[in-house]
Structure 1
Protein backbone atom coordinates (compact mmCIF):
# COMPACT_ATOMS: atom_id res chain seq x y z
CA UNK A 1 0.00 0.00 0.00
CA UNK A 2 1.21 3.48 -0.87
CA UNK A 3 1.29 6.00 1.99
CA UNK A 4 0.76 9.72 1.64
CA UNK A 5 2.11 12.03 4.33
CA UNK A 6 -0.57 14.34 5.73
CA UNK A 7 0.72 16.02 8.90
CA UNK A 8 -2.41 18.16 9.31
CA UNK A 9 -4.34 15.01 10.30
CA UNK A 10 -2.14 14.37 13.34
CA UNK A 11 -4.37 16.56 15.54
CA UNK A 12 -7.39 14.51 14.47
CA UNK A 13 -5.67 11.24 15.25
CA UNK A 14 -4.67 12.53 18.69
CA UNK A 15 -8.29 13.48 19.34
CA UNK A 16 -9.20 9.77 19.38
CA UNK A 17 -7.24 9.30 22.61
CA UNK A 18 -9.46 11.88 24.33
CA UNK A 19 -12.55 10.47 22.64
CA UNK A 20 -11.82 6.97 23.95
CA UNK A 21 -11.51 8.35 27.51
CA UNK A 22 -14.85 10.14 27.03
CA UNK A 23 -16.58 6.99 25.74
CA UNK A 24 -15.34 4.89 28.66
CA UNK A 25 -17.41 7.19 30.88
CA UNK A 26 -20.51 6.09 28.94
CA UNK A 27 -20.71 9.16 26.73
CA UNK A 28 -20.07 9.39 23.02
CA UNK A 29 -17.61 11.80 21.42
CA UNK A 30 -20.64 13.90 20.43
CA UNK A 31 -22.04 14.23 23.95
CA UNK A 32 -21.65 17.44 25.94
CA UNK A 33 -19.45 19.42 23.54
CA UNK A 34 -19.26 22.80 25.28
CA UNK A 35 -20.11 25.77 23.02
CA UNK A 36 -16.70 27.31 23.69
CA UNK A 37 -15.17 24.31 21.85
CA UNK A 38 -17.38 24.66 18.76
CA UNK A 39 -14.63 26.08 16.54
CA UNK A 40 -12.02 23.63 17.79
CA UNK A 41 -14.37 20.65 17.34
CA UNK A 42 -15.80 21.91 14.01
CA UNK A 43 -19.37 22.41 15.23
CA UNK A 44 -21.00 24.52 12.52
CA UNK A 45 -24.43 25.24 13.97
CA UNK A 46 -26.49 24.50 17.09
CA UNK A 47 -30.27 24.20 16.96
CA UNK A 48 -32.75 23.27 19.69
CA UNK A 49 -32.56 19.45 19.45
CA UNK A 50 -29.50 18.80 17.24
CA UNK A 51 -26.26 20.30 15.97
CA UNK A 52 -24.25 20.19 12.75
CA UNK A 53 -20.61 19.12 12.89
CA UNK A 54 -17.96 18.41 10.27
CA UNK A 55 -16.75 14.82 10.10
CA UNK A 56 -13.10 14.74 11.19
CA UNK A 57 -12.54 11.68 8.99
CA UNK A 58 -14.58 12.57 5.91
CA UNK A 59 -15.54 10.23 3.08
CA UNK A 60 -15.44 13.31 0.84
CA UNK A 61 -14.65 17.00 1.27
CA UNK A 62 -17.50 18.71 3.11
CA UNK A 63 -18.78 15.55 4.85
CA UNK A 64 -21.14 16.87 7.55
CA UNK A 65 -23.16 15.22 10.29
CA UNK A 66 -26.38 16.15 12.08
CA UNK A 67 -26.23 14.91 15.67
CA UNK A 68 -29.09 14.95 18.20
CA UNK A 69 -28.07 16.21 21.63
CA UNK A 70 -29.79 13.21 23.14
CA UNK A 71 -27.47 10.22 23.09
CA UNK A 72 -29.24 7.09 21.89
CA UNK A 73 -28.35 4.40 19.36
CA UNK A 74 -31.96 3.91 18.26
CA UNK A 75 -33.83 6.02 15.74
CA UNK A 76 -37.12 5.08 17.41
CA UNK A 77 -35.93 6.75 20.64
CA UNK A 78 -35.95 10.18 18.97
CA UNK A 79 -39.08 12.24 19.47
CA UNK A 80 -40.95 13.69 16.50
CA UNK A 81 -39.51 17.19 17.03
CA UNK A 82 -35.96 15.83 16.91
CA UNK A 83 -36.66 13.80 13.77
CA UNK A 84 -38.14 16.85 12.08
CA UNK A 85 -35.16 18.99 13.10
CA UNK A 86 -32.77 16.35 11.69
CA UNK A 87 -34.47 16.76 8.31
CA UNK A 88 -34.43 20.58 8.47
CA UNK A 89 -30.75 20.61 9.40
CA UNK A 90 -29.87 18.07 6.70
CA UNK A 91 -31.58 20.36 4.18
CA UNK A 92 -29.62 23.32 5.59
CA UNK A 93 -26.38 21.33 5.22
CA UNK A 94 -27.11 20.51 1.59
CA UNK A 95 -28.05 24.11 0.80
CA UNK A 96 -24.84 25.41 2.42
CA UNK A 97 -22.69 22.82 0.66
CA UNK A 98 -24.28 23.67 -2.71
CA UNK A 99 -23.46 27.35 -2.21
CA UNK A 100 -19.96 26.67 -0.89
CA UNK A 101 -18.46 23.77 -2.86
CA UNK A 102 -21.05 22.99 -5.60
CA UNK A 103 -21.42 19.20 -5.37
CA UNK A 104 -23.40 17.36 -8.03
CA UNK A 105 -25.34 15.30 -5.47
CA UNK A 106 -25.35 13.88 -1.94
CA UNK A 107 -25.43 10.71 0.10
CA UNK A 108 -27.65 11.20 3.15
CA UNK A 109 -28.28 8.63 5.86
CA UNK A 110 -27.25 6.94 9.09
CA UNK A 111 -25.34 3.79 9.96
CA UNK A 112 -27.50 2.17 12.63
CA UNK A 113 -25.39 -0.28 14.62
CA UNK A 114 -21.79 -1.42 14.31
CA UNK A 115 -22.66 -4.09 11.71
CA UNK A 116 -24.12 -1.32 9.51
CA UNK A 117 -20.79 0.53 9.60
CA UNK A 118 -21.46 2.78 12.59
CA UNK A 119 -18.12 3.57 14.22
CA UNK A 120 -19.90 5.57 16.94
CA UNK A 121 -22.88 3.30 17.35
CA UNK A 122 -23.94 4.52 20.81
CA UNK A 123 -25.05 7.95 19.52
CA UNK A 124 -27.17 8.14 16.38
CA UNK A 125 -26.00 10.71 13.84
CA UNK A 126 -26.85 11.44 10.22
CA UNK A 127 -24.29 11.84 7.44
CA UNK A 128 -24.48 14.31 4.58
CA UNK A 129 -21.74 13.46 2.07
CA UNK A 130 -21.29 15.71 -0.97
CA UNK A 131 -20.66 13.82 -4.22
CA UNK A 132 -19.27 14.83 -7.60
CA UNK A 133 -19.45 12.99 -10.85
CA UNK A 134 -16.20 11.05 -11.08
CA UNK A 135 -15.28 11.54 -7.40
CA UNK A 136 -14.50 7.86 -7.10
CA UNK A 137 -11.46 7.08 -9.16
CA UNK A 138 -8.57 4.63 -9.31
CA UNK A 139 -6.75 5.98 -6.21
CA UNK A 140 -8.80 4.12 -3.54
CA UNK A 141 -8.91 0.93 -5.62
CA UNK A 142 -5.44 0.73 -7.11
CA UNK A 143 -3.50 3.01 -4.77
CA UNK A 144 -5.46 2.25 -1.56
CA UNK A 145 -5.40 6.03 -1.03
CA UNK A 146 -8.21 8.58 -0.72
CA UNK A 147 -7.32 12.11 -1.80
CA UNK A 148 -9.18 15.03 -0.18
CA UNK A 149 -8.40 18.37 -1.75
CA UNK A 150 -10.03 20.95 0.55
CA UNK A 151 -8.45 22.54 3.60
CA UNK A 152 -10.79 21.53 6.44
CA UNK A 153 -10.30 24.67 8.54
CA UNK A 154 -10.95 26.97 5.60
CA UNK A 155 -14.02 24.98 4.57
CA UNK A 156 -15.32 25.10 8.17
CA UNK A 157 -15.13 28.91 8.18
CA UNK A 158 -16.81 29.13 4.75
CA UNK A 159 -19.63 26.76 5.71
CA UNK A 160 -20.23 28.47 9.06
CA UNK A 161 -20.56 31.83 7.30
CA UNK A 162 -22.82 30.39 4.58
CA UNK A 163 -25.10 28.74 7.16
CA UNK A 164 -25.38 32.07 9.00
CA UNK A 165 -26.32 33.87 5.77
CA UNK A 166 -28.94 31.24 4.90
CA UNK A 167 -30.50 31.38 8.37
CA UNK A 168 -30.57 35.19 8.42
CA UNK A 169 -32.28 35.12 5.00
CA UNK A 170 -34.96 32.72 6.24
CA UNK A 171 -35.75 34.99 9.21
CA UNK A 172 -36.18 38.04 6.98
Structure 2
Protein backbone atom coordinates (compact mmCIF):
# COMPACT_ATOMS: atom_id res chain seq x y z
CA UNK A 1 0.00 0.00 0.00
CA UNK A 2 1.25 3.50 -0.83
CA UNK A 3 2.28 5.37 2.34
CA UNK A 4 0.21 8.43 1.37
CA UNK A 5 -2.93 6.30 1.09
CA UNK A 6 -2.37 4.48 4.41
CA UNK A 7 -4.18 6.72 6.88
CA UNK A 8 -4.32 4.26 9.76
CA UNK A 9 -3.48 5.65 13.18
CA UNK A 10 0.07 4.24 13.17
CA UNK A 11 1.05 4.70 9.52
CA UNK A 12 3.05 7.93 9.69
CA UNK A 13 3.93 8.13 13.38
CA UNK A 14 7.71 8.29 13.56
CA UNK A 15 8.19 7.50 9.86
CA UNK A 16 10.93 9.70 8.40
CA UNK A 17 10.00 12.02 5.58
CA UNK A 18 11.73 14.65 3.48
CA UNK A 19 10.76 17.58 5.70
CA UNK A 20 13.24 19.26 8.05
CA UNK A 21 11.68 20.56 11.25
CA UNK A 22 12.95 23.33 13.46
CA UNK A 23 10.98 23.53 16.69
CA UNK A 24 10.50 27.16 17.73
CA UNK A 25 8.05 27.29 20.64
CA UNK A 26 9.14 30.84 21.53
CA UNK A 27 7.34 32.02 18.37
CA UNK A 28 3.96 31.06 19.89
CA UNK A 29 3.84 34.50 21.50
CA UNK A 30 3.21 35.88 18.00
CA UNK A 31 0.57 33.30 17.12
CA UNK A 32 -1.35 33.03 20.40
CA UNK A 33 -4.29 35.38 20.84
CA UNK A 34 -3.66 36.94 17.42
CA UNK A 35 -0.62 38.83 18.73
CA UNK A 36 1.19 38.75 15.41
CA UNK A 37 2.81 42.18 15.09
CA UNK A 38 1.66 44.37 12.26
CA UNK A 39 4.27 44.40 9.49
CA UNK A 40 4.37 48.19 9.79
CA UNK A 41 5.29 48.01 13.50
CA UNK A 42 8.95 48.45 14.35
CA UNK A 43 10.10 45.77 16.82
CA UNK A 44 12.93 48.01 18.05
CA UNK A 45 10.55 50.88 18.81
CA UNK A 46 8.11 48.52 20.56
CA UNK A 47 10.68 46.63 22.68
CA UNK A 48 11.48 49.38 25.24
CA UNK A 49 7.78 49.64 26.18
CA UNK A 50 7.71 45.96 27.14
CA UNK A 51 9.25 44.30 30.18
CA UNK A 52 12.94 43.44 29.89
CA UNK A 53 12.14 39.73 30.08
CA UNK A 54 9.47 39.85 27.36
CA UNK A 55 11.55 42.02 25.02
CA UNK A 56 14.82 40.16 25.80
CA UNK A 57 16.40 43.47 26.88
CA UNK A 58 19.62 43.01 28.87
CA UNK A 59 20.49 46.67 29.51
CA UNK A 60 19.01 50.15 29.04
CA UNK A 61 21.09 53.26 28.49
CA UNK A 62 20.23 56.93 28.06
CA UNK A 63 19.89 56.96 24.25
CA UNK A 64 20.26 53.27 23.36
CA UNK A 65 19.58 49.80 24.74
CA UNK A 66 20.83 46.23 24.33
CA UNK A 67 18.64 43.18 23.65
CA UNK A 68 19.12 39.61 22.50
CA UNK A 69 18.36 38.86 18.87
CA UNK A 70 15.16 36.80 18.62
CA UNK A 71 16.70 35.03 15.61
CA UNK A 72 20.33 34.65 16.73
CA UNK A 73 23.25 33.59 14.57
CA UNK A 74 24.88 32.26 17.73
CA UNK A 75 24.20 31.98 21.46
CA UNK A 76 24.31 35.40 23.08
CA UNK A 77 23.76 37.34 19.82
CA UNK A 78 22.98 40.87 21.03
CA UNK A 79 21.74 44.00 19.27
CA UNK A 80 22.42 47.60 20.31
CA UNK A 81 19.62 49.94 19.22
CA UNK A 82 19.01 53.64 19.71
CA UNK A 83 15.61 54.41 21.21
CA UNK A 84 15.07 56.94 18.45
CA UNK A 85 13.74 55.54 15.16
CA UNK A 86 16.50 56.25 12.63
CA UNK A 87 17.61 53.92 9.87
CA UNK A 88 21.15 55.02 9.08
CA UNK A 89 24.28 55.26 11.19
CA UNK A 90 24.89 58.67 9.62
CA UNK A 91 21.51 59.83 11.02
CA UNK A 92 22.45 59.01 14.63
CA UNK A 93 23.47 61.84 16.93
CA UNK A 94 26.98 62.03 18.36
CA UNK A 95 25.52 61.02 21.75
CA UNK A 96 23.77 57.98 20.23
CA UNK A 97 26.92 56.90 18.37
CA UNK A 98 28.99 57.24 21.56
CA UNK A 99 26.52 55.22 23.62
CA UNK A 100 26.14 52.53 20.95
CA UNK A 101 29.94 52.18 21.06
CA UNK A 102 30.02 52.13 24.87
CA UNK A 103 27.23 49.55 25.11
CA UNK A 104 28.99 47.42 22.48
CA UNK A 105 32.18 47.40 24.56
CA UNK A 106 30.27 46.48 27.72
CA UNK A 107 28.37 43.74 25.86
CA UNK A 108 31.68 42.24 24.74
CA UNK A 109 33.07 42.28 28.29
CA UNK A 110 29.90 40.74 29.71
CA UNK A 111 29.74 38.06 27.00
CA UNK A 112 33.36 37.07 27.70
CA UNK A 113 32.64 36.91 31.44
CA UNK A 114 29.31 35.05 31.23
CA UNK A 115 29.82 32.85 28.18
CA UNK A 116 33.59 32.57 27.83
CA UNK A 117 33.54 33.38 24.11
CA UNK A 118 36.75 33.52 22.10
CA UNK A 119 35.86 36.37 19.73
CA UNK A 120 33.07 38.40 18.12
CA UNK A 121 31.50 39.38 14.84
CA UNK A 122 30.35 42.99 15.17
CA UNK A 123 28.59 44.98 12.50
CA UNK A 124 25.66 46.82 10.99
CA UNK A 125 23.73 46.01 7.84
CA UNK A 126 22.56 49.36 6.45
CA UNK A 127 19.51 49.01 4.21
CA UNK A 128 17.59 46.01 2.90
CA UNK A 129 20.02 45.55 0.00
CA UNK A 130 22.83 45.13 2.55
CA UNK A 131 20.93 42.43 4.43
CA UNK A 132 19.24 44.39 7.21
CA UNK A 133 16.28 42.39 8.52
CA UNK A 134 14.83 45.56 10.07
CA UNK A 135 16.22 48.22 7.77
CA UNK A 136 14.09 51.06 9.17
CA UNK A 137 15.71 51.05 12.64
CA UNK A 138 19.45 51.27 13.21
CA UNK A 139 20.92 48.35 15.15
CA UNK A 140 24.37 46.90 15.66
CA UNK A 141 25.00 43.15 15.90
CA UNK A 142 27.33 41.66 18.49
CA UNK A 143 27.74 37.94 17.80
CA UNK A 144 29.86 35.94 20.28
CA UNK A 145 32.06 33.29 18.67
CA UNK A 146 33.88 30.22 19.99
CA UNK A 147 36.60 28.16 18.38
CA UNK A 148 34.22 25.19 18.47
CA UNK A 149 30.94 26.90 17.48
CA UNK A 150 31.00 25.83 13.85
CA UNK A 151 29.68 22.43 12.85
CA UNK A 152 28.12 20.81 9.81
CA UNK A 153 24.51 21.88 10.54
CA UNK A 154 24.58 25.30 8.81
CA UNK A 155 26.41 23.91 5.78
CA UNK A 156 24.60 20.61 5.26
CA UNK A 157 21.21 21.07 6.90
CA UNK A 158 20.90 24.88 6.82
CA UNK A 159 20.15 24.66 10.54
CA UNK A 160 21.87 26.41 13.44
CA UNK A 161 22.09 24.47 16.71
CA UNK A 162 21.51 26.80 19.66
CA UNK A 163 22.74 25.26 22.94
CA UNK A 164 20.98 27.72 25.28
CA UNK A 165 17.45 29.16 25.44
CA UNK A 166 17.05 32.91 24.86
CA UNK A 167 15.45 33.54 28.26
CA UNK A 168 18.31 31.79 30.06
CA UNK A 169 20.93 33.77 28.14
CA UNK A 170 19.09 37.07 28.77
CA UNK A 171 18.95 36.33 32.48
CA UNK A 172 22.68 35.57 32.71
CA UNK A 173 23.78 38.56 30.62
CA UNK A 174 21.45 41.01 32.39
CA UNK A 175 22.62 39.78 35.81
CA UNK A 176 26.27 40.33 34.86
CA UNK A 177 25.71 43.76 33.28
CA UNK A 178 27.39 46.50 35.37
CA UNK A 179 24.94 48.89 37.01
CA UNK A 180 27.07 51.98 36.35
CA UNK A 181 29.97 51.06 34.08
CA UNK A 182 31.57 54.50 34.33
CA UNK A 183 34.47 55.43 32.07
CA UNK A 184 36.56 52.48 30.94
CA UNK A 185 40.29 53.02 30.54
Q: For 2:42, which of 15, 25, 28 is the aligned residue?
A: 28
* Separation in structure 1 between the aligned mates of residue 29 and residue 96 of structure 2, nearest angstrom: 29
Alignment of 1:147-162 (within 5 A): 147-162=161-176
Aligned-pair RMSD on alpha carbons?
2.3
Say whether the 8 Å CA contact 2:122–2:142 is kept in structure 1. Answer: yes
Provide the TM-score with structure 1 as the length reference: 0.85
- Structure 2 unpaired stretches of 5+: 1-17
SS in 1 for 2:133: coil
SS in 2 for 1:145: coil
* Separation in structure 2 between the aligned mates of residue 14 and residue 107 of structure 1, nearest angstrom: 32
1:167 and 2:155 are equivalent in the alignment: no
* Separation in structure 1 between the aligned mates of residue 48 and residue 66 of structure 2, nearest angstrom: 14
More helix by share: 1
Say whether the 8 Å CA contact 2:30–2:36 is kept in structure 1. Answer: no
- Structure 1 unpaired stretches of 5+: none
Q: For residues 56-78 of structure 1, what are the alpha-carbon distances to aligned partners after superposition, in whole Å with 9 as ceiling and x for unaligned?
A: 00000000000001111111111
TM superposition shift of 1:18: 3.2
* Separation in structure 1 between the aligned mates of residue 169 and residue 107 of structure 2, nearest angstrom: 13
Q: For 1:10, which of 6, 15, 27 is the aligned residue?
A: 27
Change (3 A) 1:122 1:168: closer
* Separation in structure 2 between the aligned mates of residue 58 and residue 105 of structure 1, nearest angstrom: 16
* Separation in structure 2 between the aligned mates of residue 121 and residue 11 of structure 1, nearest angstrom: 24
Alignment of 1:13-162 (within 5 A): 14=31, 18-19=36-37, 21=38, 23-24=39-40, 27-162=41-176
Over 4 Å off, 4+ runs: 168-171
* Separation in structure 2 between the aligned mates of residue 30 and residue 104 of structure 1, nearest angstrom: 28
Bigger mean CA offset, 149-158 vs 99-108: 149-158
Say whether the 8 Å CA contact 2:76–2:144 is kept in structure 1. Answer: yes
SS in 2 for 1:44: strand
TM superposition shift of 1:34: 4.5
